[in-house]
Chain A
Amino acid sequence: MSRKTPPRWRSDPAKQRPRGGNSGAQTPIDLGELPWLVGYALRRAQLVVFQDFFRTFSDVRIRPAQFSVLAILERNPGLKQSEVASVLGIKRTNFVVLVDELERRGLAERRAAEGDRRSRALYLTDKGKILVRKLRRMAAVHERRMTARIGTANRKQLFKLLHHLADGSH
Chain B
Amino acid sequence: MIVESCLPRRPGSNRNASEATGLAYGPLVDWVGFNLRMAQEASFLSFARQSRSVAGTRPGRFAMLTLISENPGISQTALGRAAGRDKSTLTPVLNDLVRRGWIRRQRNRDDRRTYLLSLTSGGKQKLVQLTACARRHERNLDRIIGRGEKAHFLLILRRIAAEIG
Binding site for B on A (CB under 8 A): 1-4, 6, 18-21, 23, 26, 29-50, 53, 64, 68, 71-72, 74-76, 79, 83, 86-89, 91, 136, 139, 142-143, 146-147, 149-150, 154-155, 157-170
Residues of A within 8 A of B13 (CB): 163, 167
The reply on B120 being an interface residue by CB < 8 A is no
The reply on B47 being an interface residue by CB < 8 A is yes
Restricting to B117-142, which residues have a CB under 8 Å from any CB of A?
A: 134, 137-138, 140-142
Residues of B within 8 A of A49 (CB): 32-33, 36, 160
Given contacts A2-B72, A146-B33, contact A36 B154 (CB under 8 A): yes
Residues of A within 8 A of B82 (CB): 20-21, 29, 31
Q: State the CA gap A6–B43 with chains docked (Å).
A: 26
Residues of A within 8 A of B137 (CB): 39
In the complex, the answer to whether B33 meets A41 with C-beta atoms within 8 Å is no
Given contacts A20-B84, A29-B78, A146-B33, contact A89 B6 (CB under 8 A): yes
In this complex, what residue of B is CB-closest to A24?
B81
Residues of B within 8 A of A75 (CB): 23-26
Q: State the CA gap A53–B31 with chains docked (Å).
A: 11
